[in-house]
Structure 1
Amino acid sequence: MTLHRRSLLTAAGLGLTASPVLAQAPWSEAVRAAAVTPQRAPADPAETVRLWPDGAPGGENVTVVAEVNERSEDPAYHDRFAVYTTDPIMTVFRPERPNGAALLLIPGGGYRWAVVDKEGYDCARVFAAAGVTCFVLRYRLPGDNWAAGPNAPLQDAQRAMRLIRANAAQYGVDPDRIGALGASAGGHLGGTLAARHGDAVYEAVDAADAVSARPDLSILMYPVVTLTDPHTHAGSRSHLLGENPSPDQIRDWSLETMPRRDTPPTFIVHAMDDGAVPPENAMMLTTALRAANVPVETHLFEEGGHGFGIRLIEGRPAAVWPELALAWGARRGWLG
């Protein structure tokens, strides 16, 4: 685990923003510009990819109708969330100056819904400004009567990674430089993908399913990690496993029990004042990854709350997290 002194000083509110190394990074200025909330919400990308051309598996008893709802009344930004997704998609953000890196973004929503903007499109625009080709995942939810139950979101995450890697040439990305970013419950899904990328949770549907679903690195923002009390996020647990999960289910679906030696290097960001997903989640996963000899870097900020994404921490210490993540990825060869 790496706990950077700069992160802790920044969290202490000493007015520090970015290190000289970050300030000199070639992508730094573009990243900071992309993180500023505009006067009017930018247009959505037109390019989307259906994950399952013949329909998502196990939907025989699914009767829900997909919805995307808007919570924002401010024209400067969208704050949408998707519920009852039946046709999972990826929305593609192609950077002006691609550097060959790719990122699958898995937004949160407590497994009750999947947010679209805050941890999806907003983050994708910032990473695309650094040259990363981004894919925002809209995944199925476990409570919508899919035959796979809690594995339904993992089916979508695995399939998404395989489609990106199998079509890397089409997207102009390096198949060995594809990361995954998950936030909150999406961090639980991203962490599950990182640990269980090789588990056979669906039957192959085409040649893309022959390639690896393993992310080359994993970025987790305020992730739901444990499903055990007292540090779990109860809503995520109940929407994933039901109201009365067994002790075995709770253990098997807690990220701190999952790390394997082939789990990719992991970057974790969490705020110490997170009132929804306690920071002990990040600490537990950090300890488990270290025990499995998985490289991990963890940044704990004194303030930030939960679900801050990009927009909600403008001008605050934790606003530096995308640059920290990019600098970490650059050290690992992800940015080329």
Structure 2
Amino acid sequence: MDVNRRGLLIIGAAAPALATALPVSVGAQTVAPPDPTEVVRLWPNGAPGGEGVTVSPIVPERSTDPAYRDRYAQYTTDPIMTVMRPDKPNGSAMLLIPGGGYRWSVLDKEGFDVARVFAASGTTCFVLRYRLPADGWSAGADAPLQDAQRAIRLIRSRAAEFGVRPDRIAVLGASAGGHLAGLASARTDATYAPVDAVDEVSLRPDLTVLMYPVATMSGPHVHAGSRMHLLGEAPTAERIAAYSLERMNWTEAAPVFLLHAMDDASVPVENSLMLLTTLKAASVKTEVHLFQEGGHGFGVRLIQGRPAAVWPELARAWAARLDFPL
């Protein structure tokens, strides 16, 4: 009875925050919530290594229902963060890195929708629109990581302006965005030459949340599409090892929160399990939640009414024990 009662309390606590990600009524019509309007460009003089880039950005809309939006950004050439400021800031920041298999980056399902949930409890959220590896950038597979590292540094260097603490910067990544967030958490090396004073501060997050992350680049559990778009058709064994999260050195990395559905047919749960083994061996503070159902790419909207819907509250409770309000 105690477990059931506690579960009901958690679901009840999650309901108000989740409601902020749901459609709103305008007159007789139900429509998606409006987009935030504050945007921060990552690179003051253009993203590095773009001399060979010829693509043109697109942001298609896949939803035909006015109640919700389902856009993705492809061929991004001017990376940005869209800022979602809370009504009552708690001092924490969260960089959200949506997935898309390194082919594109979804904006709503794992970006704005999730950001609204955490902004509702006081976290200042930044949704990252990052460059993609196959678009001709000289950094190749490191182009997305350049954007993630620069974004973390921008938030930290402008912490006072954003109303956050420079030591309370979380990163949340989903699917291939989880792979990118993992790279940003594990790697200590800057992947670009310094641009300005922003690049004098630390590039690593203080907390990491990985939703059904792409982790491995090899073996039977690899997400083949992410690997192909990140590393090409036939990457070498060395390249595969260098970009497999479970084979990286996570020593002194920030605490990690992992969540995954056991029935994920796109990115098998073994990705999180293999990464967990590595995190444990590196003594990284880690909490893991596996859900029986949920599939892949559920964000917050696609699991309403299911047990996995409580994951934001589980993440908040875990972070609170680390003195990190979310």
| Category of TM-score, reference length = shorter chain | over 0.9
Residue by residue over 1:140-176, the C-alpha shift from the partner in whole angstroms, topping out at 9 and shown as x without a partner, is: 0000010000000000000000000000000000111
1:19-168 to structure 2, matched below 5 A, reads: 20=9, 22=10, 28=14, 30-38=16-24, 39-168=30-159
Q: Counterpart of 1:285 in structure 2: which amino acid?
A: L
Length-normalised TM-score, structure 1: 0.92
Q: Counterpart of 1:176 in structure 2: which amino acid?
A: D
Give identity over the alignment, percent.
Answer: 63
Distance 1:331 1:190 in 2: 22
Q: Check whether the contact 1:17–1:320 (CA below 8 A) recurs between aligned residues.
A: no
Q: Counterpart of 1:193 in structure 2: which amino acid?
A: A
Whether 1:200 aligns to 2:190 is yes
Q: How many pairs align? A: 320
Distance 1:324 1:35, change over 3 A: farther
Distance 2:167 2:47 in 1: 27
Unaligned runs of 5+ in 1: 1-5, 7-14
Equivalent residue number for residue 310 of structure 1: 300
Equivalent residue number for residue 179 of structure 2: 188
Distance 2:219 2:138 in 1: 28
Distance 1:163 1:94 in 2: 16
4+ residue segments displaced more than 6 Å: none
Distance 1:99 1:120 in 2: 20
Alpha-carbon shift at residue 19 of structure 1 (Å): 5.7
Residue by residue over 1:68-107, the C-alpha shift from the partner in whole angstroms, topping out at 9 and shown as x without a partner, is: 0100000011000000000000000000111101100000
Equivalent residue number for residue 240 of structure 2: 250
Distance 2:7 2:165 in 1: 29
Distance 1:146 1:294 in 2: 33
Residue by residue over 1:32-73, the C-alpha shift from the partner in whole angstroms, topping out at 9 and shown as x without a partner, is: 322444431111111000000100000000000011010000
Equivalent residue number for residue 299 of structure 1: 289
Q: Counterpart of 1:33 in structure 2: which amino acid?
A: A
Alpha-carbon shift at residue 260 of structure 1 (Å): 2.1
Equivalent residue number for residue 10 of structure 1: none
Distance 1:279 1:16, change over 3 A: farther
3-state SS, counterpart of residue 18 of structure 1: helix
Return the structure number with greater relative CO, CA threshold 8 A, min gap 6.
1
Alpha-carbon shift at residue 16 of structure 1 (Å): 7.8
Distance 2:304 2:18 in 1: 10
1:254-273 to structure 2, matched below 5 A, reads: 254-273=244-263
3-state SS, counterpart of residue 140 of structure 2: coil
3-state SS, counterpart of residue 270 of structure 1: strand
Alpha-carbon shift at residue 24 of structure 1 (Å): 8.6
Distance 2:310 2:6 in 1: 7
3-state SS, counterpart of residue 55 of structure 2: coil
Unaligned runs of 5+ in 2: 25-29
Residue by residue over 1:214-242, the C-alpha shift from the partner in whole angstroms, topping out at 9 and shown as x without a partner, is: 11000000000001120000000000000
Equivalent residue number for residue 169 of structure 1: 160
Q: Counterpart of 1:217 in structure 2: which amino acid?
A: L
Task: From 302, 314, 322, give the equivalent of 1:324.
Answer: 314
